[in-house]
């Protein structure tokens, strides 16, 4: 049931600190601040030359963030595909390498077909699924379950952040196995993961501000989302979420791509949501914001206190998120991104939990 919420989506957004915390506890020894996978993986990360990640929709954006984490923390090349492309492009996979599949339902037809293709190529398969009895779970060599609980809203929210938690834990585990991370690094990163549920709860406090902002966004025909690094896949997720439940057209770009085309769209009627925690690419993103501001675009900045102080650009609204380890920011910044889509849809009066033309589980291609 919806408890005291108007929609399942609202309930599921608010549940995230709890379910991400449960997922954390499955993969991280919270007290010892060490990664502790619940079982030994049937492969050695040192033998893996390349990882492929495959999923659809929101799960693919979780995979995209996972790619950045695995490459940065474990120094292993990762290829990311949407399943509908992967299954037909006959990707050459090296026997003994690793393929990761991400799916809330575990029943998505294209992701399942991609898994079967990978298995036939002799690679190790890990699935990150929310439904442990699902077909994808049953057919994968290893299952890393997300403990999001049943997700009823068609738009994925809590499954996404739980997928991120699993991928973050896996990336740290991989980095440790491959000798890229020291014991100290592991403790520092595990400590940052342990903090996430509390930070997510703090991020929920932006809701009133976002509700107000949503009234402005609801007047727009198009919205642009920008981000760099792991904030780029989160921008993609923000645009998808807004499109699917509010039916407002939204697009996401890597902030550095702005001047390669999308900047032509910028005028006074174009809200630009910039996702920019104060990290090592922050200054670069600020220069993109200046380009937007110079053309009259309305900036909505999601950042932390330091970013808000350093951003030398006037924004329509700045949403200040808690200070945190920037590397794991997508889990916390997902909250305002989801809330913005949700409240915009509520203002638009759409059917938030059952958006038109969409199904919760896409079992046909
Ligand atoms: C977006 C959304 C879809 C799903 C996609 C994959 O909010 O819900 O994009 O993420 O259909 O579904 P699963 O994860 O069940 O494979």
Q: Is the pLDDT of residue 64 over 90?
A: yes
pLDDT tens figures, 216-225: 999 999 999 9
pLDDT given at position 316 = 85
Q: Specify the pLDDT at position 361.
A: 86
Neighbours of 178 (CB within 10 A): 16
- Whole-number Å distance, alpha carbon 59 to ligand 1 midpoint, is 6
Of 125-139, 237-251, 306-320, minimum mean pLDDT range: 306-320
User: What predicted TM-score, i.e. pTM, was given to this entire model?
Assistant: 0.98
Q: Tell me the two tokens of residue 226.
A: 């920008």
Read off the pLDDT of residues 34-43 as tens digits, 9 standing for 90 and up. 999 999 999 9
Q: Is the CB of 206 under 6 A from ligand 1?
A: no
> Active-site residue among 119, 243, 284, 360?
360
Predicted confidence at residue 236, as pLDDT, reads: 98
Average pLDDT value over all residues in the chain:
96
**Token pair for residue 161?**
């952040």
59 lines ligand 1 (CB under 6 A): yes
Spacing, Cα 57 to ligand 1 middle (Å): 5
Taking the CA of residue 58 as reference, the ligand 1 atom at the shortest distance is: 10
- What number is the average pLDDT over the span 88-95? 94
Q: What's the pLDDT score for residue 40?
A: 96
Residues 6+ away with beta carbon under 8 Å from 109: 362, 363, 364, 365
Cα torsion through 89, 94, 96, 98, rounded to 10: -40
Handedness of CA 111, 115, 116, 121 (dihedral sign): positive
Decide: 362 in ligand 1 pocket, CB within 6 A. yes
2 included as an active-site residue: no
Tell how far the Cα of 252 is from the centroid of ligand 1, in angstroms.
18
Q: Looking at residues 18-32, what average pLDDT do you find?
A: 98
- For ligand 1, the distance from its centroid to the CA atom of residue 102, given in whole angstroms, is 9
pLDDT band at 315 (very low <50, low <70, confident <90, very high): confident
| Proportion of the chain above pLDDT 90, given as a percent | 94
- Cα gap 365→358, rounded to integer Å: 13
- Helix boundaries (H) for the chain: 8-14, 16-27, 57-74, 83-86, 109-120, 135-139, 158-177, 183-203, 207-217, 231-246, 282-294, 305-310, 329-348
Which contiguous run of DSSP H or E holds residue 320?
strand 317-321
pLDDT at 364: 85
Mean pLDDT of 256-270: 94
> Residue 278 in contact with residue 306, Cβ under 8 Å?
yes
How far is residue 179 CA from its own chain's centroid?
Answer: 26
């Amino acid at each position: 049931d919806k408890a005291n919420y108007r929609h399942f989506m609202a309930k599921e957004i608010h549940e995230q600190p709890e379910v991400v915390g449960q997922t954390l506890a499955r993969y991280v020894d919270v007290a010892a601040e060490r990664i502790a996978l619940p079982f030994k993986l049937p492969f050695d990360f040192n033998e893996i030359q390349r990882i492929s990640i495959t999923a659809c929709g929101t799960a693919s954006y979780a995979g995209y963030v996972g790619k950045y984490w695995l490459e940065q923390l474990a120094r292993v090349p990762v290829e990311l595909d949407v399943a509908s492309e992967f299954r037909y492009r006959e990707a050459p996979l090296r026997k003994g390498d690793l393929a990761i599949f991400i799916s809330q339902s575990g029943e998505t037809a294209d992701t399942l077909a991609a898994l079967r293709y990978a298995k036939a190529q002799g690679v190790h398969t890990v699935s990150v699924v929310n439904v442990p009895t699902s077909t994808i779970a049953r057919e994968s060599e290893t299952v890393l379950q997300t403990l999001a609980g049943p997700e009823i809203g068609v738009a994925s929210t809590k499954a996404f952040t739980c997928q991120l938690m699993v991928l973050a834990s896996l990336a740290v585990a991989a980095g440790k196995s491959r000798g890229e991370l020291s014991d100290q690094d592991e403790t520092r990163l595990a400590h940052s993961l342990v903090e996430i549920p509390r930070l997510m709860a703090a991020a929920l406090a932006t809701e009133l501000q976002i509700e107000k902002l949503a009234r402005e966004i609801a007047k727009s025909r198009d919205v642009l989302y920008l981000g760099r690094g792991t904030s780029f896949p989160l921008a993609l997720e923000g645009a998808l979420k807004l499109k699917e439940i509010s039916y407002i057209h939204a697009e996401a770009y890597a902030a550095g791509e702005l001047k390669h085309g999308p900047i032509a769209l910028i005028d006074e009627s174009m809200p630009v949501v910039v996702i920019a925690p104060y990290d090592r690419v922050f200054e670069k993103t600020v220069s993109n914001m200046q380009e937007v501001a110079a053309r009259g675009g309305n900036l909505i900045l999601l950042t932390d206190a330091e970013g808000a102080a350093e951003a030398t650009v006037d924004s329509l609204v700045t949403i200040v998120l808690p200070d945190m380890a920037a590397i794991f920011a997508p889990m916390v910044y997902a909250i305002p991104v989801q809330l913005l889509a949700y409240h915009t849809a509520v203002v638009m009066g759409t059917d938030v939990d059952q958006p038109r033309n969409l199904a919760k589980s896409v079992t046909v291609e």
